[in-house]
Each structure stands twice: as structure tokens, then as C-alpha cells.
Amino acid sequence: MPAVMFIHGQESSSQTYKATLLRAAYPSALVPDFSGPLDERMAQLAPLLAQANDWVLIGSSMGGLMAALWAYAHPAQVRRLVLLAPALNAPEFTSQLGAPIAVPTVVYHGVRDTVVPLAPVRAVAERAFTNLAFHEVDDDHRLHATATTIDWRALVAG
């Protein structure tokens, strides 16, 4: 069984709605709290991810950016990425893009997202990940409606 981690967004926590749904399907999922700017959050994330080499990383918004940054730097440690309205258009990610990685990646992004724009994120995702499933859904940035329809067990299993 892979190690599963949920990484919440910038103004969220381990108690977010999506994390609660994931924990219902995977009670052993690691769902830590992060704080501070991106570099501090990445420093908090690194020792947690050093514990295993078979991660399924599920990240929401800034958490999606964090998961993608980690996977891009350590693709051998990541079995699967699930990115929910990920902030992939951030310069911290786009400035590091080189050759795409083959980590299986699933993205859900709302067509009504006014926080993280869909089109630039899709363009970056298509450059960054060779094994990409990108789902445009009728939802906003929080993806609450979408989160209730996701089969979390199947999504993690791939």
C-alpha cells in the first residue's frame, strides 16, 4: 500500500473538507498542517516525505504546487500525483520546468475558479507531466462539489 499524503492550500488546514473525505477513505493518510510562505512549507514537507519512497501526493491549490514541486525534484519517490486546482502557474514552479516527468498525474480544476486560472495551469501541466489526466469540472476553486463525487480509493490506487 502506498503512503498517502494530503497537502492543504495556503489558507486552509488539515481539517479541510477534502482532507476529511480522503481520511474517510484512507484513515492512515498523513494530513499535516503547514504554515508560512512556500519555502518554509517546503522545508516542513521535506522530512515528512523522506520517510517513504512510494508516495501518493494529493495537493490542493498551494498544496498542489508543493506536491508538484516535490515530484518534479524527486520523481522516483512519487507513485502518483493528484492535484486539485493546483497553483502550477506560480513562478516557483514554472521557473524550474525542464524535461517533463512521467509520474502519473491527475488534475481536477474548476472552470469557475477565480483564484487559480485554469488555462495557464493546464498549459503548464501539459508541459510538466507526460502521464497526465486533466479534468475540467463545473466547480470553483474549492472544488467542494467535485470532491464529493471523487472515488478517493480508486483515485489513490490509480
- Reply yes or no on whether the pLDDT at 18 is more than 80: yes
- Reply yes or no on whether the pLDDT at 1 is more than 70: no
- Average pLDDT on 11-33 reads 85
Kindly report which listed range (8-17, 69-78, 143-152) carries the lowest average pLDDT score: 8-17
Structure pTM?
0.94
Q: What is the per-residue pLDDT for 32? A: 94
- Average pLDDT on 23-36 reads 91
* CA torsion, ordered 92, 108, 51, 102, to nearest 10 deg: -80
The CATH T-level fold of domain 3-157 is Rossmann fold (3.40.50)
Q: What is the per-residue pLDDT for 133? A: 97
- Give the DSSP H or E segment for 67: helix 62-73
Q: What is the per-residue pLDDT for 11? A: 79
d(CA 79, CA 55): 5
Q: What is the per-residue pLDDT for 12? A: 78
- Average pLDDT on 13-29 reads 85
143 class by beta-carbon count within 10 Å (0-12 exposed, 13-18 middle, 19+ buried): buried
Average pLDDT of every residue of the chain: 93
pLDDT tens per residue across span 33-86 = 999 999 999 999 999 998 888 999 999 999 999 999 999 999 999 999 999 999
Q: What is the per-residue pLDDT for 158? A: 84
- Average pLDDT on 92-111 reads 95
In the chain, where are the structural domains located?
3-157
Give the confidence band of 115 by pLDDT, cuts at 50, 70, 90. very high
d(CA 79, CA 82): 10
